[in-house]
Structure 1
Amino acid sequence: MGLAESVARRLRSPEFDRWMRGAARVGFCTNPVWLVGASTTFGSETGEERARFSSADQPDHVLFTRCGNRRAQRCASCSHEYKGDTWHMIMAGAAGGMKGVPNSVAAHPMVFLTLTAPSFGTVHGVSCARAKLCTHGSRPECATGHGGGSPELGDAICPDCYDYEGHVVWQYFASELWRRFTIQLRRELARVLGMSQREASTLVRPQFAKVAEFQKRGAVHFHAIVRLDGVDSDDAFPAPDDRMTTAHLTQAIRQAARAVRYQPPSLPSGRLPNALRWGRQIDVKPIVRSEGLDGRLSDRAVAAYIAKYATKATEDLDAGASPRPHLVRLRDIAEQIGVAADQQSPYVLLERWSRMLGFRGHFSTKSRRYSVTLGSLREARHQWRLERIAAAASEPDAGEVESVLVIGSWSYAGMGWTSQGDKALAIEAARAAREWRDSRNTKGPDRGEGDVR
């Protein structure tokens, strides 16, 4: 059956409206999960049965639920939802006044930080014509000026010179390097403030929210909001001591980023990799409130930028018709190291992460007290949906909605839409829904996405 015929068949179906409502409930997910089973809703106070639901009564005899994939290339709908959640999480900690975070956090010293990977070899860039000659002379420099959309951007000029092993190892331990950076930052804050670490720990506590973004060369770099809070057991978001300024935070960040090192363990081949460090580009910009910007970096612009990159992945580097040889080699090296590692080796999991070019960290993380968690946002949305179910099951003039208890049994039955026509309809409906929401919400996660690096 062709695509047009499959679409027409669904549109002509007598159950099209019910199917459409079910698809809308999962946000027109690209690859929904199939569940089979049944549930019964009871009033928690009276024990009275309020409603029954069974997948057997649905148009396709399954209940659809979201796939939940954050990657935009895998599911635009779930990625858009994840992006919105990330925006709210970031924005709450940067501006306050939402999700239980007070407005006062916006007055705390706060910066937007970018940390990059070091160089592993010369790569094609927009200013490629100025690249140096290959160190061993087997290949000349690239004399081409590349445009922004050139497929060669980020590829090694000389693959024989490029340190692919070092690149993969750095990526594999990048999250550990970040962890050590946060520890070093506390030490540097004490040094900048002229205090002991013990004294500083009673006055100031850095909080952060960060995302990882892949550069064209296949190396991750980190974007983060770093905020200074005070220390108060009775206040989740205390203001820091008046002596703490954005200048202190900026200086401490730069010193910590330059100082931190991590020596990774030897590879299965016996080679000891170079000590890991950050790249030379350490970008720190103060963040101001969105009102009265005067050309400065706003909390809203940073939140939009970070949320945007929280949905990216390696697929975005390799979206062409054929895989980039540079990325293929990185994946191959990661897989080879992982295969060669024994069960006691710290590199034993590297094969599993080869498709991520060795990066095994979370793409979106935050410190415990930065703001609301993504999990709490999902739980609030789930609770809202349950309340709608309860309201729909109540009598029209029943007054206050009774709390309910839902008892059911469900099992996994597959993934995806049952036909290519259904998938095409869902993708188009999801696109239209996103455009409609974004047109109504001028303050959402897709606003102010200019490059703030």
Structure 2
Amino acid sequence: MAADLIAVVPDQRTTAGPGLRPTSSTGFVGRDESAFHRATDPNVFDWLDHVKAAAGCSHPIRLSGEVATVDRATGQLLSAARTEDMPDGEIYKPCGNRRHAICPSCARTYQRDAYQLLRAGLAGGKGIPASVAGHPAVFVTLTAPSFGTVHNRVVNRHTCGNRRRCDCRAEPCHARRATDPTARPCEHGQASVCWARHEESDPRLGQPLCLDCYDYDAQIVWNHSAPELWRRTSEAIRKRLHARSRQLGLPPVVQVTDSGRVRRVPPVKPSFGKVAEMQRRAVVHYHAIVRLDGVDLDPNAVVPPPAALGVDDLVAAVTHAATVTFTTRPHPARPQGWHIAWGDPAKGFDVRPITADGDITDGKVAGYLAKYATKSTEATGHVSRRLDGEVIDLYANHQGSHPERLIDACWTLGGNRDWQHLRRWAHMLGFGGHFLTKSRRYSTTFRILRDARVIWRRTETGHEYADQPEDDETTLIVGLLTYAGSGWRTTGDALLANTAAAMARERHEVAREEFAAVA
């Protein structure tokens, strides 16, 4: 609970709406910022119920206007509710930010949605047939190559019960014999060895042993090219499986498109669910679920693959595709372009079958990927919004820290007209892709999950803005709302709302643990 409050109260970054003049990042002229003032208000419980949907949000969106319920068939106005009749005269809406460092509450919601989305593609549910549990599926990890030696923590054998609180003894970081030629100091006089057994919280983890030896240009370009490398890899997996189906003599499936065109397509197709993780060395790597599906006459159907194709064929296709490479366009700093490829297969490539009762289960994989879906560059020690020429000097320094040198390389390379897109993603250290993506047929969508949550909230205690129960088939809800501001009105409001939300989450977690213990 304390972590939630610390993240919310000190820095509200409040944006004033109409009629409000901000005096600081946390308050407004003429408003009592005291939590005591709000708590002693006779209508405090009505206010808490009103802000319940956004109570845990760090920077809620405030809206004002009118919400109307209209009959779909006749266009008749059934009911209307004005925000000026509600507490504070505004509606509070969660910001919806997926990044845990920005808004822990909204990130937690996003993480749970991501878990349901990813797990549904392996176990079924949420509109996905339960038969997908029998489809061959693998969990794949693809990492970037080395751009220089960095401090790391390697545990050869884990004896801890919980990896989140791992206290196992790590191996020496970079141990080399004195007679080893690679143990000599680099050309810049920095040591090439490190005998430290780093703890998980050691700030040196991910930092280069020598900042001047590190290839920052290559890492920035690799980060930016990672989505294209993944696209080529997924295409290579698909082609390898199609070639395997032809080798087995499996007949193609004849499909008729909406335009009446007849297509003969291979009888097998892979589906993906992928998450990008930003490592401490500030380079992305991918965790992916690859599921093998069949192809039906209905292009939208999810059916099992032919029995002749199994998990071994899927593993072979993924292993083959991991060798895909390409060369970027030329740059004045590197006329031959940069060679883009995945890391050393012996160190950075891992593919494991997903089973219902083994070490790699659907729940574990979905939880693992959902955890990284809420993270971003904060693991590297850098967090900022999109950068421009006015603020770039605050973050970029070619003689500075590891993140500062990466941003400087991004901005410098982006000075070329053909590489301007690098400057757009300087705040993401060159990476411009999505942190969670999936194939269209893999699973449900975030929108479906969010719509289901909205319906559940409206029907939990009755619809708030209508005089009669909502019927999605006959009524339409129209929000005539305008933006009023961002953030809580006062620090006292933030304190009360987030404290109430934190207590509710704590009770919820205790209830879940008790149910799990009984089961």
Give the drift of 1:90: 0.5
Amino acid paired to 1:313: S
SS at match of 1:361: coil
**1:166–1:273 Cα contact (<8 Å) kept:** no
| 1:5-404 pair list within 5 angstroms | 6-44=34-72, 49-96=77-124, 98-126=125-153, 127-130=172-175, 132-133=182-183, 136=187, 138-145=189-196, 146-192=198-244, 195=247, 202-234=266-298, 236-258=301-323, 260-280=324-344, 281-289=348-356, 293=357, 295-318=358-381, 325-338=401-414, 340-342=415-417, 345=418, 347-385=419-457, 391-392=463-464, 403-404=474-475
Distance 2:413 2:34 in 1: 46
Give the drift of 1:21: 1.2
Equivalent in the alignment of 1:451? none
Distance 1:217 1:399 in 2: 51
Distance 1:197 1:374 in 2: 38
After TM superposition, the score normalised by the length of structure 1 is 0.86
SS at match of 1:69: coil
Amino acid paired to 2:146: S
Amino acid paired to 1:256: A
Amino acid paired to 2:241: L
Distance 1:414 1:332 in 2: 34
Give the drift of 1:399: 11
**1:192–1:251 Cα contact (<8 Å) kept:** no
SS at match of 2:193: coil
Give the drift of 1:144: 3.5
Q: Could you say if the C-alpha distance between residues 251 and 411 of structure 1 is closer, same or farther in structure 2, counting changes exceeding 3 Å?
A: same
Q: Could you say if the C-alpha distance between residues 317 and 401 of structure 1 is closer, same or farther in structure 2, counting changes exceeding 3 Å?
A: closer
Give the drift of 1:412: 1.4
Structure 2 residue runs without a partner (length 5+) = 1-23, 154-171, 177-181, 253-264, 384-394
Q: Could you say if the C-alpha distance between residues 71 and 393 of structure 1 is closer, same or farther in structure 2, counting changes exceeding 3 Å?
A: closer
**1:190–1:196 Cα contact (<8 Å) kept:** no
Distance 2:135 2:329 in 1: 39
Equivalent in the alignment of 1:449? none
Alignment length (residue pairs): 433
Give the drift of 1:411: 1.6
After TM superposition, the score normalised by the length of structure 2 is 0.76
Amino acid paired to 1:286: P
Amino acid paired to 1:229: D
**1:390–1:401 Cα contact (<8 Å) kept:** no
Equivalent in the alignment of 2:9? none
What is the RMSD computed on CA atoms of the aligned residues? 3.2
32-41 or 108-117: which moved more?
32-41
Amino acid paired to 2:413: I
**2:79–2:467 Cα contact (<8 Å) kept:** no
Distance 2:306 2:278 in 1: 37
SS at match of 2:484: strand
Q: Deviations over 1:349-399 (max 9, x none)?
A: 211211111110000000111010112212222344455687456668x89
Give the drift of 1:94: 0.8
**1:43–1:402 Cα contact (<8 Å) kept:** no
Distance 2:514 2:123 in 1: 13
Give the drift of 1:41: 2.1
Runs of 4+ in 1 over 6 A off after TM superposition: 1-5, 196-200, 398-402
SS at match of 1:417: coil
SS at match of 2:277: strand
Q: Could you say if the C-alpha distance between residues 384 and 155 of structure 1 is closer, same or farther in structure 2, counting changes exceeding 3 Å?
A: same
Identity %: 38
Q: Could you say if the C-alpha distance between residues 137 and 316 of structure 1 is closer, same or farther in structure 2, counting changes exceeding 3 Å?
A: closer
Give the drift of 1:414: 1.7
Distance 1:187 1:208 in 2: 15
Q: Deviations over 1:70-97 (max 9, x none)?
A: 001111111111111111110100111x
Q: Could you say if the C-alpha distance between residues 72 and 393 of structure 1 is closer, same or farther in structure 2, counting changes exceeding 3 Å?
A: closer
Distance 1:400 1:349 in 2: 47
Distance 2:472 2:245 in 1: 55
Give the drift of 1:442: 6.1
Q: Could you say if the C-alpha distance between residues 182 and 203 of structure 1 is closer, same or farther in structure 2, counting changes exceeding 3 Å?
A: same
86-95 or 433-442: which moved more?
433-442
Distance 1:303 1:216 in 2: 22
Distance 1:105 1:424 in 2: 45
| 1:416-427 pair list within 5 angstroms | 416-427=487-498
Structure 1 residue runs without a partner (length 5+) = 447-453
Amino acid paired to 1:129: H
SS at match of 1:351: helix
Q: Could you say if the C-alpha distance between residues 226 and 442 of structure 1 is closer, same or farther in structure 2, counting changes exceeding 3 Å?
A: farther
